[in-house]
Amino acid sequence: MTNHVLLNNIEHKDLKINLERSAQMGDNVWYTQTFPMEFRSAQAHYPILFQKDSNTGQIMPVTLFGFENDNNLFLKNGKWDTAYIPLAIQRLPFYIGFQESTLDGITSKNRVLTLDLDSPKVNQTHGADLFLEYGGNSDYLEHIANVLEALHHGLQENSAFIEALTNCELLEAVTLDIELNDGNKKQLMGFYTINEDNLNNLSQYKLSKLHSQGFLQAIYMVIASQVHINDLVARKNAQIAL
């Protein structure tokens, strides 16, 4: 369950956010959304694949943290065991909400910062303060606001990116067959990746268009990120060996 509320420095002046990264804190997810502007940072640590949202039918890029539900291989001793945490994870338990306002008879929707009060990260005793003594935003809350702003604009870019990939027939379904040291086998289905044959056969016009849109580099970053599937296998083997 979630309990999203509009954040304010009166009702929530004493709240803190536990910065521990663990299953108990709700971080035990095996993938999360990402976007082209984040690929440079994400591809250095995670495989980037694509998945179709079961609710909307839209395809979205995701960073992979493991091979099954509730098994994030980057959680270790209350920390996230790599240098970069994707923005969709960094922002938790904060979200972007929308609030209507009317000025001179014109109604518009404005983005606002909301907080999930039911998150285990939210408390009054341990972690990062949200507000300063006299009501100003803490450095941590300013960081979260910047993260949410980048995430908002980045996720909006995904529609144009996926449309470009689809128009060039660059997405193909992929099945990952994983065999672990203990003999256990896992098969990941429902993901998509870049069709490299189609990419190599694109016309100069289509390649130039992808480049002008800023998507050609993102495509190659997705391809380069696939080497980290082996890293995930190594992390999983280390986990089962404990």
pLDDT at residue 224 greater than cutoff 90 = yes
Q: Tell me, yes or no, whether 43 lies in a domain.
A: yes
Q: Tell me, yes or no, whether 171 lies in a domain.
A: yes
What is the model's pLDDT at position 111?
Answer: 82
Q: Tell me, yes or no, whether 44 lies in a domain.
A: yes
How many domains is the chain built from?
1
What is the model's pLDDT at position 105?
Answer: 67
Q: Do the Cβ atoms of 129 and 140 come closer than 8 Å?
A: yes
pLDDT at residue 241 greater than cutoff 90 = no
Q: Tell me, yes or no, whether 10 lies in a domain.
A: no
What is the model's pLDDT at position 234?
Answer: 95
Label residue 44 by pLDDT band (50, 70, 90).
Answer: very high
Q: Do the Cβ atoms of 59 and 192 come closer than 8 Å?
A: yes
Mean pLDDT value across residues 114-125: 96
Q: Tell me, yes or no, whether 150 lies in a domain.
A: yes
Label residue 101 by pLDDT band (50, 70, 90).
Answer: low
pLDDT at residue 117 greater than cutoff 70 = yes
What is the model's pLDDT at position 154?
Answer: 93
Range of the structural domain that residue 211 is part of: 19-87+138-235
| Nearest by Cα to 121 from 27, 58, 188 | 27
Give the DSSP letter string of 131-170. Answer: B-TTSPBPHHHHHHHHHHHHHHHHHHHHHHHHHHHHHTT-
Mean pLDDT value across residues 104-117: 81
What is the model's pLDDT at position 108?
Answer: 66
- pLDDT tens-digit profile of 136-174? 999 999 999 999 999 999 999 999 999 999 999 999 999
What is the model's pLDDT at position 97?
Answer: 86
Task: Tell me the average pLDDT of the chain.
Answer: 93
What is the model's pLDDT at position 104?
Answer: 67
Mean pLDDT value across residues 112-118: 94
Mean pLDDT value across residues 13-35: 96
114 contact partners, CB below 8 Å, separation of at least 6: 4, 5, 6, 7, 94, 95, 96, 97
Token digits for 37? Answer: 């502007």
pLDDT at residue 186 greater than cutoff 90 = no
Q: Tell me, yes or no, whether 190 lies in a domain.
A: yes
Half-sphere exposure (Cβ direction) of 182: Cα atoms closer than 13 Å: 9
Q: Tell me, yes or no, whether 209 lies in a domain.
A: yes
Q: Tell me, yes or no, whether 210 lies in a domain.
A: yes
Phi, psi (rounded to 5 degrees) for 162: -65, -40
- pLDDT tens-digit profile of 54-78? 788 899 999 999 999 999 999 999 9
Label residue 24 by pLDDT band (50, 70, 90).
Answer: very high
